Amino acid sequence: FFINAYGLAVFGSVAAAALSPREMCALLTSCGGASSLFHVACHPRSPVLGASGMLMGVVTASALLEPHRQFHMVLPIPGLTLTMLQVADAVLAANLAGFFLLRRWFGTVAWAAH
């Protein structure tokens, strides 16, 4: 919960500045719903809410809206500076690694919803 809330506070502000409230609501709803549906398609006996998938959608939208915006990381590597596009690429790589390589050890994470 705390990681999703932190990510939404940091990256959601980028999307919220560029989108209207209605567009932001549509983005959050569609990303959360789609991630939940995809996870249920992969794991029918384990439904999820899709909060992490919603955050992944916000990160992707922020990267598309402002790809060159710079962030000074606090987590996971303090002091590292990345562009929004690099953040989105790193998030994608981490989630693909989780889905294909780490789900055996971290089975409680809904990797398919990301």
Q: What pLDDT shows up at residue 73?
A: 85
Handedness of CA 72, 76, 82, 83 (dihedral sign): negative
What global pTM score does this model have?
Answer: 0.80
Name 68's Cβ contacts closer than 8 Å, sequence gap at least 6: 83, 84, 85
Judge if the upstream peptide bond of residue 76 is cis by omega within 30 degrees of 0. yes
Locate all alpha helices (DSSP H) within the chain, ordered by sequence: 2-18, 21-42, 51-65, 84-97
pLDDT in tens, 57-89: 999 999 999 999 998 888 778 999 999 999 999
Locate all alpha helices (DSSP H) within 43-81, ordered by sequence: 51-65
pLDDT in tens, 84-110: 999 999 988 887 887 777 766 666 566
pLDDT in tens, 6-43: 889 989 999 999 999 999 999 999 998 888 888 788 77
Element (H, E) at 20: none
Q: What pLDDT shows up at residue 109?
A: 61
